[in-house]
Structure 1
Amino acid sequence: MGELLVVVALRWADGRARVDPLTGEVETDPRGAGAGEADRCALEHGLRIAGAAGGRCVAVTVAPPQAEEMLRDALACGADAVLRVDVPEWDPRLADSGSGTAQALAQAVRAEFGEPGLVLTGDHSADRGTGSTPAFLAARFGYAQALGLVELAYADGALTAVRRLDRGRRERLAVPLPAVCSVEPAGVRLRRAGLPATLAARTADVPTVPGAVAGEPVTVHAARPYRPRAKELPPPPEPDPRLRLLRLTGAHEQRDPPRVVVTDDPGEAADELLGYLKAKGYLA
Protein backbone atom coordinates (compact mmCIF):
# COMPACT_ATOMS: atom_id res chain seq x y z
CA MET A 1 0.00 0.00 0.00
CA GLY A 2 1.28 3.47 -0.90
CA GLU A 3 0.69 6.68 0.98
CA LEU A 4 -2.41 6.43 3.14
CA LEU A 5 -5.05 8.97 2.19
CA VAL A 6 -7.46 9.70 5.05
CA VAL A 7 -10.64 11.54 4.07
CA VAL A 8 -12.74 13.13 6.81
CA ALA A 9 -16.31 13.97 5.77
CA LEU A 10 -17.67 16.90 7.78
CA ARG A 11 -21.29 17.93 8.07
CA TRP A 12 -22.03 21.65 8.16
CA ALA A 13 -25.08 22.15 10.38
CA ASP A 14 -26.65 24.74 12.64
CA GLY A 15 -26.98 23.23 16.08
CA ARG A 16 -29.23 26.07 17.25
CA ALA A 17 -31.77 26.27 14.46
CA ARG A 18 -35.03 28.03 15.26
CA VAL A 19 -38.46 26.83 14.18
CA ASP A 20 -41.34 29.25 13.69
CA PRO A 21 -44.22 27.87 15.81
CA LEU A 22 -46.84 29.17 13.37
CA THR A 23 -45.42 28.39 9.93
CA GLY A 24 -42.93 25.64 10.76
CA GLU A 25 -40.19 27.42 8.83
CA VAL A 26 -36.66 26.58 9.99
CA GLU A 27 -34.37 29.58 10.41
CA THR A 28 -30.63 29.06 10.57
CA ASP A 29 -27.80 31.44 11.36
CA PRO A 30 -24.55 30.74 9.45
CA ARG A 31 -22.56 32.41 12.23
CA GLY A 32 -23.54 29.66 14.66
CA ALA A 33 -23.21 26.74 12.22
CA GLY A 34 -20.28 24.41 11.81
CA ALA A 35 -19.13 20.87 12.48
CA GLY A 36 -20.69 18.92 15.32
CA GLU A 37 -18.77 17.25 18.11
CA ALA A 38 -18.82 13.87 16.37
CA ASP A 39 -17.34 15.35 13.18
CA ARG A 40 -14.67 17.21 15.14
CA CYS A 41 -13.75 13.97 16.84
CA ALA A 42 -13.53 12.27 13.43
CA LEU A 43 -11.18 15.01 12.22
CA GLU A 44 -8.88 14.51 15.21
CA HIS A 45 -8.78 10.77 14.56
CA GLY A 46 -8.00 11.44 10.91
CA LEU A 47 -5.12 13.78 11.77
CA ARG A 48 -3.65 11.25 14.21
CA ILE A 49 -3.93 8.31 11.84
CA ALA A 50 -2.47 10.27 8.92
CA GLY A 51 0.42 11.34 11.12
CA ALA A 52 1.08 7.80 12.35
CA ALA A 53 0.95 6.38 8.81
CA GLY A 54 2.92 9.19 7.18
CA GLY A 55 -0.03 9.90 4.91
CA ARG A 56 -2.33 12.80 4.11
CA CYS A 57 -5.55 13.95 5.78
CA VAL A 58 -8.12 15.89 3.76
CA ALA A 59 -11.46 17.31 4.91
CA VAL A 60 -14.47 17.43 2.60
CA THR A 61 -18.04 18.61 2.99
CA VAL A 62 -21.24 18.91 0.97
CA ALA A 63 -22.40 22.37 1.93
CA PRO A 64 -23.07 25.95 0.80
CA PRO A 65 -20.34 28.62 0.64
CA GLN A 66 -20.86 29.54 4.31
CA ALA A 67 -19.17 26.23 5.23
CA GLU A 68 -15.78 27.44 3.99
CA GLU A 69 -14.96 28.78 7.45
CA MET A 70 -15.40 25.27 8.83
CA LEU A 71 -12.94 23.94 6.24
CA ARG A 72 -10.46 26.70 7.03
CA ASP A 73 -10.61 25.65 10.66
CA ALA A 74 -9.72 22.12 9.51
CA LEU A 75 -6.73 23.52 7.63
CA ALA A 76 -5.64 25.42 10.73
CA CYS A 77 -5.78 22.22 12.79
CA GLY A 78 -3.49 20.41 10.38
CA ALA A 79 -5.50 19.07 7.43
CA ASP A 80 -3.37 18.81 4.27
CA ALA A 81 -6.20 19.82 1.94
CA VAL A 82 -9.91 20.63 1.93
CA LEU A 83 -12.71 20.36 -0.59
CA ARG A 84 -16.23 21.75 -0.68
CA VAL A 85 -18.88 20.09 -2.83
CA ASP A 86 -21.26 22.85 -3.87
CA VAL A 87 -24.87 21.75 -4.22
CA PRO A 88 -27.86 23.88 -5.21
CA GLU A 89 -30.53 24.75 -2.71
CA TRP A 90 -33.15 22.07 -2.35
CA ASP A 91 -36.51 21.82 -0.63
CA PRO A 92 -35.82 21.06 3.07
CA ARG A 93 -39.19 19.33 3.32
CA LEU A 94 -37.85 16.48 1.20
CA ALA A 95 -36.39 13.52 3.03
CA ASP A 96 -32.61 13.10 3.17
CA SER A 97 -31.67 9.44 3.61
CA GLY A 98 -27.93 10.10 3.22
CA SER A 99 -27.68 8.24 -0.07
CA GLY A 100 -27.48 11.39 -2.20
CA THR A 101 -24.91 12.98 0.11
CA ALA A 102 -22.75 9.84 0.00
CA GLN A 103 -22.90 9.73 -3.78
CA ALA A 104 -21.86 13.39 -4.11
CA LEU A 105 -19.00 12.90 -1.63
CA ALA A 106 -17.70 9.73 -3.27
CA GLN A 107 -17.71 11.24 -6.76
CA ALA A 108 -15.92 14.40 -5.64
CA VAL A 109 -13.28 12.56 -3.58
CA ARG A 110 -12.45 10.14 -6.39
CA ALA A 111 -12.22 12.95 -8.95
CA GLU A 112 -10.02 15.21 -6.83
CA PHE A 113 -7.91 12.87 -4.68
CA GLY A 114 -8.29 9.36 -6.06
CA GLU A 115 -9.19 6.30 -4.02
CA PRO A 116 -8.89 6.95 -0.25
CA GLY A 117 -7.50 4.38 2.13
CA LEU A 118 -9.73 5.45 5.02
CA VAL A 119 -12.91 7.54 5.22
CA LEU A 120 -13.95 8.92 8.61
CA THR A 121 -17.21 10.58 9.63
CA GLY A 122 -19.13 11.36 12.78
CA ASP A 123 -21.68 8.79 13.84
CA HIS A 124 -24.52 11.28 13.31
CA SER A 125 -24.99 14.95 12.51
CA ALA A 126 -26.65 17.60 14.60
CA ASP A 127 -29.42 18.41 12.13
CA ARG A 128 -30.45 15.13 10.52
CA GLY A 129 -28.96 12.58 12.88
CA THR A 130 -29.91 9.40 11.04
CA GLY A 131 -26.33 8.07 10.97
CA SER A 132 -26.94 6.43 7.57
CA THR A 133 -24.46 8.43 5.44
CA PRO A 134 -21.36 6.41 6.57
CA ALA A 135 -23.04 3.16 5.54
CA PHE A 136 -23.97 4.61 2.15
CA LEU A 137 -20.38 5.84 1.74
CA ALA A 138 -19.08 2.33 2.37
CA ALA A 139 -21.47 1.01 -0.26
CA ARG A 140 -20.40 3.67 -2.79
CA PHE A 141 -16.69 2.97 -2.30
CA GLY A 142 -17.12 -0.77 -1.87
CA TYR A 143 -15.15 -0.68 1.41
CA ALA A 144 -15.47 -2.44 4.73
CA GLN A 145 -17.34 -0.47 7.38
CA ALA A 146 -17.14 -0.09 11.15
CA LEU A 147 -19.69 2.30 12.58
CA GLY A 148 -20.29 3.85 16.00
CA LEU A 149 -16.71 3.58 17.28
CA VAL A 150 -15.44 5.04 20.54
CA GLU A 151 -11.74 4.33 19.92
CA LEU A 152 -9.67 4.20 16.75
CA ALA A 153 -5.92 3.59 16.45
CA TYR A 154 -3.38 2.90 13.70
CA ALA A 155 -0.09 1.09 14.25
CA ASP A 156 2.19 -1.04 12.05
CA GLY A 157 -0.14 -0.74 9.08
CA ALA A 158 -3.15 -2.09 10.99
CA LEU A 159 -6.29 -0.25 12.06
CA THR A 160 -7.95 -1.29 15.32
CA ALA A 161 -11.16 0.01 16.83
CA VAL A 162 -13.44 -0.32 19.84
CA ARG A 163 -17.21 -0.20 19.53
CA ARG A 164 -19.71 0.37 22.32
CA LEU A 165 -22.22 -2.41 22.97
CA ASP A 166 -25.24 -2.69 25.24
CA ARG A 167 -24.89 -3.14 29.01
CA GLY A 168 -21.49 -1.46 29.13
CA ARG A 169 -19.73 -4.05 27.00
CA ARG A 170 -17.10 -3.27 24.35
CA GLU A 171 -16.22 -4.94 21.06
CA ARG A 172 -12.64 -4.82 19.73
CA LEU A 173 -12.31 -4.82 15.95
CA ALA A 174 -9.47 -5.29 13.48
CA VAL A 175 -10.64 -3.11 10.59
CA PRO A 176 -9.28 -4.09 7.15
CA LEU A 177 -8.23 -1.20 4.92
CA PRO A 178 -9.66 0.42 2.89
CA ALA A 179 -12.59 1.14 5.16
CA VAL A 180 -15.25 3.64 6.17
CA CYS A 181 -15.54 4.34 9.90
CA SER A 182 -17.83 6.55 11.93
CA VAL A 183 -16.93 7.65 15.45
CA GLU A 184 -18.85 8.83 18.46
CA PRO A 185 -17.88 12.12 20.15
CA ALA A 186 -15.96 10.36 22.90
CA GLY A 187 -12.38 9.80 23.94
CA VAL A 188 -10.63 12.59 22.02
CA ARG A 189 -11.04 16.29 21.38
CA LEU A 190 -10.02 18.20 18.29
CA ARG A 191 -6.64 19.84 18.85
CA ARG A 192 -6.44 23.60 19.19
CA ALA A 193 -4.95 25.34 16.18
CA GLY A 194 -1.94 27.57 16.72
CA LEU A 195 -2.08 31.28 15.97
CA PRO A 196 0.22 31.20 12.88
CA ALA A 197 -1.79 28.33 11.33
CA THR A 198 -5.08 30.10 12.11
CA LEU A 199 -3.92 33.33 10.48
CA ALA A 200 -2.66 31.47 7.42
CA ALA A 201 -5.92 29.57 7.05
CA ARG A 202 -8.03 32.76 7.12
CA THR A 203 -6.85 33.67 3.61
CA ALA A 204 -6.54 30.13 2.20
CA ASP A 205 -8.50 29.28 -0.92
CA VAL A 206 -11.10 26.53 -0.54
CA PRO A 207 -11.39 24.39 -3.69
CA THR A 208 -14.97 23.88 -4.80
CA VAL A 209 -16.48 21.34 -7.18
CA PRO A 210 -20.11 21.15 -8.32
CA GLY A 211 -22.33 18.39 -7.03
CA ALA A 212 -25.96 17.43 -6.70
CA VAL A 213 -28.01 15.88 -3.93
CA ALA A 214 -31.46 14.75 -4.93
CA GLY A 215 -34.12 14.81 -2.26
CA GLU A 216 -36.48 11.89 -1.89
CA PRO A 217 -40.13 12.89 -2.12
CA VAL A 218 -42.42 11.75 0.65
CA THR A 219 -46.09 10.92 0.03
CA VAL A 220 -48.38 11.74 2.97
CA HIS A 221 -51.41 9.45 2.91
CA ALA A 222 -52.98 10.70 6.16
CA ALA A 223 -52.18 13.13 8.94
CA ARG A 224 -53.53 12.44 12.42
CA PRO A 225 -52.32 12.82 15.98
CA TYR A 226 -50.30 10.02 17.50
CA ARG A 227 -52.32 7.67 19.69
CA PRO A 228 -50.47 5.03 21.65
CA ARG A 229 -51.79 1.50 21.63
CA ALA A 230 -54.11 0.55 24.45
CA LYS A 231 -52.53 -1.34 27.31
CA GLU A 232 -53.76 -4.94 27.55
CA LEU A 233 -55.00 -5.97 30.99
CA PRO A 234 -56.33 -9.35 32.17
CA PRO A 235 -60.15 -9.54 32.35
CA PRO A 236 -61.92 -9.73 35.73
CA PRO A 237 -62.37 -13.31 36.94
CA GLU A 238 -66.03 -12.87 38.05
CA PRO A 239 -68.60 -14.51 35.72
CA ASP A 240 -71.39 -12.08 36.74
CA PRO A 241 -71.47 -9.06 34.35
CA ARG A 242 -72.40 -6.75 37.26
CA LEU A 243 -69.42 -7.86 39.34
CA ARG A 244 -67.15 -7.56 36.34
CA LEU A 245 -68.33 -3.99 35.78
CA LEU A 246 -67.76 -3.12 39.44
CA ARG A 247 -64.28 -4.61 39.30
CA LEU A 248 -63.43 -2.64 36.15
CA THR A 249 -64.74 0.68 37.46
CA GLY A 250 -63.54 0.18 41.05
CA ALA A 251 -66.80 1.60 42.35
CA HIS A 252 -66.82 -0.37 45.65
CA GLU A 253 -63.12 -0.24 46.37
CA GLN A 254 -61.99 1.39 49.60
CA ARG A 255 -60.19 4.65 48.95
CA ASP A 256 -58.67 7.20 51.26
CA PRO A 257 -60.32 10.58 50.85
CA PRO A 258 -57.99 13.31 49.58
CA ARG A 259 -56.45 15.61 52.15
CA VAL A 260 -55.42 19.21 51.76
CA VAL A 261 -52.88 20.41 54.31
CA VAL A 262 -52.24 24.14 54.50
CA THR A 263 -49.43 25.30 56.74
CA ASP A 264 -46.76 27.97 56.86
CA ASP A 265 -44.38 25.80 58.87
CA PRO A 266 -41.84 23.99 56.61
CA GLY A 267 -41.11 21.43 59.33
CA GLU A 268 -44.77 20.51 59.65
CA ALA A 269 -45.11 20.20 55.88
CA ALA A 270 -42.07 17.92 55.74
CA ASP A 271 -43.42 15.73 58.55
CA GLU A 272 -46.75 15.43 56.76
CA LEU A 273 -45.04 14.38 53.53
CA LEU A 274 -42.80 11.86 55.29
CA GLY A 275 -45.76 10.39 57.13
CA TYR A 276 -47.64 9.92 53.86
CA LEU A 277 -44.67 8.21 52.19
CA LYS A 278 -44.22 5.86 55.18
CA ALA A 279 -47.93 4.99 55.22
CA LYS A 280 -47.80 4.08 51.51
CA GLY A 281 -44.69 1.96 52.00
CA TYR A 282 -42.26 4.16 50.06
CA LEU A 283 -40.16 4.75 53.18
CA ALA A 284 -39.26 2.32 55.94
Structure 2
Amino acid sequence: MKIVVCVKQVPDAKDVRLDPVTNTLSRDGVQSIMNPYDRHALEEGVRLAGEEGGSVTVISMGPPQAAEVLREAVACGADEAVLVSDRAFAGADTWATTHTLAQAIKKVGGADLVLCGKQAIDGDTAQVGPGLAERLNMPYVTCVRKVLASDNGVIRLERLMDDGYDTLEVKLPTLFTVVKEINEPRLPSLKGKMKAKKLQITTFSAADIDADPDQIGLKGSPTQVVRVFSPQPRGERTIFSGPVEEQVEKLAVELAKIV
Protein backbone atom coordinates (compact mmCIF):
# COMPACT_ATOMS: atom_id res chain seq x y z
CA MET A 1 0.00 0.00 0.00
CA LYS A 2 1.37 3.38 -0.98
CA ILE A 3 0.46 5.93 1.66
CA VAL A 4 0.89 9.69 1.51
CA VAL A 5 0.52 11.77 4.66
CA CYS A 6 0.12 15.54 4.40
CA VAL A 7 1.64 17.47 7.31
CA LYS A 8 1.83 21.15 8.10
CA GLN A 9 4.20 23.22 10.19
CA VAL A 10 2.21 25.56 12.45
CA PRO A 11 3.01 27.98 15.28
CA ASP A 12 2.68 26.47 18.74
CA ALA A 13 -0.81 27.47 19.88
CA LYS A 14 0.26 28.28 23.44
CA ASP A 15 2.70 30.90 22.14
CA VAL A 16 0.50 32.56 19.52
CA ARG A 17 -0.03 36.28 19.94
CA LEU A 18 -1.09 39.23 17.79
CA ASP A 19 0.97 42.25 16.85
CA PRO A 20 -1.14 45.18 18.14
CA VAL A 21 0.17 47.46 15.37
CA THR A 22 -0.18 45.26 12.28
CA ASN A 23 -3.03 43.06 13.60
CA THR A 24 -1.25 40.00 12.23
CA LEU A 25 0.14 36.92 13.93
CA SER A 26 3.50 37.63 15.52
CA ARG A 27 5.89 34.75 14.86
CA ASP A 28 8.94 36.30 16.54
CA GLY A 29 10.14 33.89 19.18
CA VAL A 30 7.22 31.53 18.55
CA GLN A 31 8.15 27.87 18.19
CA SER A 32 6.91 26.01 15.11
CA ILE A 33 5.60 22.46 15.49
CA MET A 34 3.94 19.75 13.45
CA ASN A 35 0.19 20.27 13.38
CA PRO A 36 -1.10 18.02 16.22
CA TYR A 37 -3.84 16.38 14.13
CA ASP A 38 -1.24 15.56 11.47
CA ARG A 39 0.74 13.63 14.07
CA HIS A 40 -2.18 11.25 14.39
CA ALA A 41 -2.44 10.95 10.59
CA LEU A 42 1.27 10.12 10.43
CA GLU A 43 0.99 7.52 13.18
CA GLU A 44 -1.90 5.82 11.41
CA GLY A 45 -0.02 5.80 8.13
CA VAL A 46 3.07 4.23 9.69
CA ARG A 47 0.93 1.68 11.52
CA LEU A 48 -0.99 0.66 8.40
CA ALA A 49 2.16 0.43 6.31
CA GLY A 50 3.69 -1.84 8.92
CA GLU A 51 0.65 -4.10 9.15
CA GLU A 52 -0.40 -4.18 5.51
CA GLY A 53 2.99 -3.74 3.90
CA GLY A 54 3.84 -0.57 2.03
CA SER A 55 5.53 2.79 2.31
CA VAL A 56 4.77 6.18 3.79
CA THR A 57 5.67 9.45 2.07
CA VAL A 58 5.13 12.69 3.97
CA ILE A 59 4.45 15.88 2.03
CA SER A 60 4.41 19.43 3.33
CA MET A 61 3.81 22.73 1.58
CA GLY A 62 5.66 25.59 3.22
CA PRO A 63 8.86 27.62 3.53
CA PRO A 64 12.28 25.91 3.71
CA GLN A 65 12.08 25.64 7.51
CA ALA A 66 9.12 23.27 7.13
CA ALA A 67 11.75 20.62 6.44
CA GLU A 68 12.01 20.35 10.24
CA VAL A 69 8.61 18.68 10.57
CA LEU A 70 9.41 16.39 7.65
CA ARG A 71 12.55 15.14 9.38
CA GLU A 72 10.52 14.64 12.52
CA ALA A 73 8.01 12.59 10.52
CA VAL A 74 10.79 10.40 9.14
CA ALA A 75 12.16 9.96 12.66
CA CYS A 76 8.71 8.65 13.62
CA GLY A 77 8.65 6.03 10.86
CA ALA A 78 7.92 7.66 7.50
CA ASP A 79 10.00 6.40 4.57
CA GLU A 80 10.30 9.45 2.33
CA ALA A 81 9.78 13.20 2.67
CA VAL A 82 8.80 15.84 0.11
CA LEU A 83 8.84 19.59 0.67
CA VAL A 84 6.81 21.70 -1.75
CA SER A 85 8.30 25.16 -1.44
CA ASP A 86 8.15 28.20 -3.68
CA ARG A 87 7.56 31.91 -3.12
CA ALA A 88 4.71 31.58 -5.59
CA PHE A 89 2.77 29.60 -2.97
CA ALA A 90 2.74 32.48 -0.47
CA GLY A 91 -0.68 33.67 0.65
CA ALA A 92 -2.46 30.47 -0.42
CA ASP A 93 -5.90 29.78 0.99
CA THR A 94 -7.32 26.25 1.20
CA TRP A 95 -8.37 26.27 -2.47
CA ALA A 96 -4.87 27.08 -3.68
CA THR A 97 -3.29 24.76 -1.11
CA THR A 98 -5.28 21.75 -2.32
CA HIS A 99 -4.20 22.39 -5.92
CA THR A 100 -0.55 22.50 -4.86
CA LEU A 101 -0.76 19.36 -2.72
CA ALA A 102 -2.68 17.46 -5.39
CA GLN A 103 -0.04 18.28 -7.98
CA ALA A 104 2.69 17.17 -5.59
CA ILE A 105 0.95 13.85 -4.91
CA LYS A 106 0.60 13.26 -8.63
CA LYS A 107 4.29 14.08 -9.04
CA VAL A 108 5.29 11.30 -6.62
CA GLY A 109 3.13 8.80 -8.49
CA GLY A 110 -0.16 9.09 -6.63
CA ALA A 111 -1.25 7.08 -3.61
CA ASP A 112 -3.53 4.27 -2.53
CA LEU A 113 -4.32 6.13 0.66
CA VAL A 114 -3.91 9.81 1.54
CA LEU A 115 -4.06 10.76 5.21
CA CYS A 116 -4.57 14.25 6.64
CA GLY A 117 -5.27 15.61 10.08
CA LYS A 118 -8.86 16.75 10.62
CA GLN A 119 -7.75 20.37 10.54
CA ALA A 120 -4.81 22.68 11.19
CA ILE A 121 -4.75 24.50 14.51
CA ASP A 122 -3.78 27.80 12.87
CA GLY A 123 -6.61 27.93 10.32
CA ASP A 124 -9.20 25.52 11.77
CA THR A 125 -11.09 25.30 8.46
CA ALA A 126 -11.01 21.49 8.03
CA GLN A 127 -11.25 22.14 4.28
CA VAL A 128 -7.92 20.90 2.94
CA GLY A 129 -8.64 17.17 3.33
CA PRO A 130 -11.98 17.12 1.49
CA GLY A 131 -10.72 19.66 -1.06
CA LEU A 132 -7.65 17.57 -1.78
CA ALA A 133 -9.79 14.47 -2.28
CA GLU A 134 -11.87 16.33 -4.84
CA ARG A 135 -8.73 17.46 -6.65
CA LEU A 136 -7.50 13.85 -6.75
CA ASN A 137 -10.94 12.50 -7.69
CA MET A 138 -10.93 10.21 -4.66
CA PRO A 139 -13.72 9.20 -2.28
CA TYR A 140 -13.00 10.49 1.23
CA VAL A 141 -14.08 10.06 4.82
CA THR A 142 -13.62 12.78 7.42
CA CYS A 143 -13.15 12.47 11.19
CA VAL A 144 -11.98 8.85 11.10
CA ARG A 145 -11.56 7.61 14.67
CA LYS A 146 -10.59 3.98 14.01
CA VAL A 147 -9.47 1.80 11.11
CA LEU A 148 -10.94 -1.64 11.73
CA ALA A 149 -9.66 -3.76 8.84
CA SER A 150 -8.24 -3.71 5.33
CA ASP A 151 -8.94 -6.52 2.88
CA ASN A 152 -8.76 -6.79 -0.91
CA GLY A 153 -8.62 -3.05 -1.45
CA VAL A 154 -11.47 -2.25 0.94
CA ILE A 155 -10.99 -0.50 4.29
CA ARG A 156 -13.55 -0.73 7.08
CA LEU A 157 -13.51 2.12 9.57
CA GLU A 158 -15.36 4.15 12.15
CA ARG A 159 -16.20 7.81 11.58
CA LEU A 160 -16.74 10.03 14.60
CA MET A 161 -20.15 11.74 14.74
CA ASP A 162 -21.75 14.15 17.21
CA ASP A 163 -23.92 11.38 18.66
CA GLY A 164 -21.66 8.35 18.28
CA TYR A 165 -19.97 6.88 15.23
CA ASP A 166 -20.68 5.39 11.80
CA THR A 167 -19.11 2.17 10.53
CA LEU A 168 -18.20 2.48 6.85
CA GLU A 169 -16.43 0.59 4.09
CA VAL A 170 -14.53 2.44 1.38
CA LYS A 171 -12.52 1.23 -1.60
CA LEU A 172 -8.96 2.26 -2.34
CA PRO A 173 -7.70 4.69 -3.47
CA THR A 174 -9.21 7.00 -0.89
CA LEU A 175 -8.47 9.86 1.51
CA PHE A 176 -9.10 10.04 5.24
CA THR A 177 -8.94 12.91 7.69
CA VAL A 178 -8.37 11.69 11.22
CA VAL A 179 -9.22 12.85 14.73
CA LYS A 180 -7.05 12.57 17.82
CA GLU A 181 -9.04 9.60 19.15
CA ILE A 182 -7.63 7.34 16.44
CA ASN A 183 -4.29 6.60 18.12
CA GLU A 184 -1.44 7.72 20.35
CA PRO A 185 1.44 9.09 18.23
CA ARG A 186 4.80 7.44 18.85
CA LEU A 187 7.95 9.28 19.82
CA PRO A 188 10.88 9.44 17.40
CA SER A 189 13.21 6.46 17.75
CA LEU A 190 17.00 6.71 17.86
CA LYS A 191 17.21 4.78 14.60
CA GLY A 192 14.61 7.07 13.09
CA LYS A 193 16.45 10.18 14.21
CA MET A 194 19.64 8.93 12.59
CA LYS A 195 17.77 8.21 9.35
CA ALA A 196 16.10 11.63 9.41
CA LYS A 197 19.41 13.40 9.94
CA LYS A 198 20.94 11.77 6.87
CA LEU A 199 17.83 11.92 4.67
CA GLN A 200 17.92 14.02 1.54
CA ILE A 201 14.53 15.72 1.44
CA THR A 202 13.07 16.04 -2.04
CA THR A 203 12.06 19.64 -2.77
CA PHE A 204 9.59 20.61 -5.48
CA SER A 205 8.98 24.10 -6.86
CA ALA A 206 5.81 25.25 -8.58
CA ALA A 207 7.38 24.42 -11.94
CA ASP A 208 8.45 20.95 -10.77
CA ILE A 209 4.86 19.93 -10.07
CA ASP A 210 3.37 21.71 -13.11
CA ALA A 211 1.25 23.91 -10.87
CA ASP A 212 -1.18 26.24 -12.61
CA PRO A 213 0.04 29.82 -11.88
CA ASP A 214 -3.57 30.98 -11.69
CA GLN A 215 -4.42 28.46 -8.95
CA ILE A 216 -1.58 28.91 -6.48
CA GLY A 217 -0.58 31.46 -3.89
CA LEU A 218 -2.42 34.71 -3.38
CA LYS A 219 -3.39 34.93 -7.04
CA GLY A 220 -5.14 31.59 -6.94
CA SER A 221 -6.92 32.20 -3.64
CA PRO A 222 -10.60 33.23 -3.83
CA THR A 223 -10.55 34.09 -0.11
CA GLN A 224 -8.13 36.41 1.65
CA VAL A 225 -7.61 37.35 5.30
CA VAL A 226 -8.17 41.09 5.49
CA ARG A 227 -7.54 41.54 9.20
CA VAL A 228 -6.84 39.49 12.33
CA PHE A 229 -7.69 40.98 15.71
CA SER A 230 -8.33 40.10 19.33
CA PRO A 231 -11.93 40.71 20.42
CA GLN A 232 -12.33 43.48 22.98
CA PRO A 233 -13.59 42.43 26.44
CA ARG A 234 -17.27 43.15 26.92
CA GLY A 235 -19.03 43.76 30.23
CA GLU A 236 -17.66 43.48 33.74
CA ARG A 237 -15.41 40.61 34.74
CA THR A 238 -14.66 39.14 38.14
CA ILE A 239 -11.66 36.94 38.77
CA PHE A 240 -11.72 34.65 41.78
CA SER A 241 -8.53 33.49 43.45
CA GLY A 242 -7.65 31.25 46.34
CA PRO A 243 -8.47 27.59 47.05
CA VAL A 244 -11.10 25.97 44.84
CA GLU A 245 -13.57 25.70 47.72
CA GLU A 246 -13.37 29.46 48.36
CA GLN A 247 -13.74 30.25 44.67
CA VAL A 248 -16.87 28.08 44.48
CA GLU A 249 -18.40 29.86 47.48
CA LYS A 250 -17.65 33.27 45.96
CA LEU A 251 -19.11 32.19 42.62
CA ALA A 252 -22.28 30.93 44.34
CA VAL A 253 -22.71 34.31 46.04
CA GLU A 254 -22.30 36.19 42.75
CA LEU A 255 -24.74 33.89 40.93
CA ALA A 256 -27.30 34.35 43.69
CA LYS A 257 -27.19 38.10 43.08
CA ILE A 258 -28.06 37.57 39.42
CA VAL A 259 -30.96 35.20 40.14
TM-score (norm 1): 0.70
- Aligned: 1:155 with 2:155: no
**1:132 and 1:26 mapped to 2: Cα distance?**
21
Select the structure of larger CA radius of gyration. Answer: 1
Any residues of structure 2 matched to 1:162-173 within 5 Å, and which? 162-167=158-163, 169-173=164-168
Q: Is the 8 A contact 2:37 2:178 kept in 1?
A: yes
The RMSD of aligned alpha carbons is 3.0
**1:155 and 1:201 mapped to 2: Cα distance?**
29
- Secondary structure at the counterpart of residue 70 of structure 1: helix
In terms of mean alpha carbon deviation, does 43-52 or 184-193 score higher?
184-193
**1:61 and 1:153 mapped to 2: Cα distance?**
27
Aligned residues: 224
The equivalent of 1:58 in structure 2 is 57
- Secondary structure at the counterpart of residue 110 of structure 2: coil
Structure 1 residues 19 and 208: alpha-carbon distance in aligned structure 2, compared to 1, 3 A threshold: same
How big is each residue's C-alpha offset from its partner over 1:108-147, in whole Å with a ceiling of 9 and x where there is no partner?
A: 12112x1210000001001111011111111111111101
Offset at residue 202 of structure 1 (A): 1.9
How big is each residue's C-alpha offset from its partner over 1:227-261, in whole Å with a ceiling of 9 and x where there is no partner?
A: xxxxxxxxxxxxxxxxxxxxxxxxxxxxxxxxxxx
**1:32 and 1:219 mapped to 2: Cα distance?**
25
- Secondary structure at the counterpart of residue 79 of structure 1: coil
- Aligned: 1:101 with 2:97: yes
- Aligned: 1:130 with 2:125: yes
**How many percent of aligned residue pairs carry the same amino acid?**
29
- Counterpart amino acid of residue 24 in structure 1: N
TM-score (norm 2): 0.77
- Aligned: 1:26 with 2:29: no
Q: Structure 2, unaligned stretches of length 5 or more? A: 226-230, 232-248
1:200 aligned residue (195, 203, 215): 195
Any residues of structure 2 matched to 1:115-264 within 5 Å, and which? 115-157=110-152, 158-167=154-163, 169-211=164-206, 213-215=216-218, 216=221
Structure 1 residues 105 and 219: alpha-carbon distance in aligned structure 2, compared to 1, 3 A threshold: closer
How big is each residue's C-alpha offset from its partner over 1:159-187, in whole Å with a ceiling of 9 and x where there is no partner?
A: 122112223x2111112111011001123
**2:56 and 2:224 mapped to 1: Cα distance?**
41
- Counterpart amino acid of residue 160 in structure 1: R
The equivalent of 2:82 in structure 1 is 83
- Counterpart amino acid of residue 78 in structure 2: A
The equivalent of 2:236 in structure 1 is none
- Secondary structure at the counterpart of residue 186 of structure 1: helix
Any residues of structure 2 matched to 1:265-276 within 5 Å, and which? none
Q: Is the 8 A contact 2:98 2:135 kept in 1?
A: yes
The equivalent of 2:44 in structure 1 is 45
**1:198 and 1:9 mapped to 2: Cα distance?**
20
In terms of mean alpha carbon deviation, does 121-130 or 80-89 score higher?
80-89
The equivalent of 2:242 in structure 1 is none
**2:159 and 2:80 mapped to 1: Cα distance?**
29
The equivalent of 2:9 in structure 1 is 12
The equivalent of 1:239 in structure 2 is none
How big is each residue's C-alpha offset from its partner over 1:248-284, in whole Å with a ceiling of 9 and x where there is no partner?
A: xxxxxxxxxxxxxxxxxxxxxx7xx78x95x99x8xx
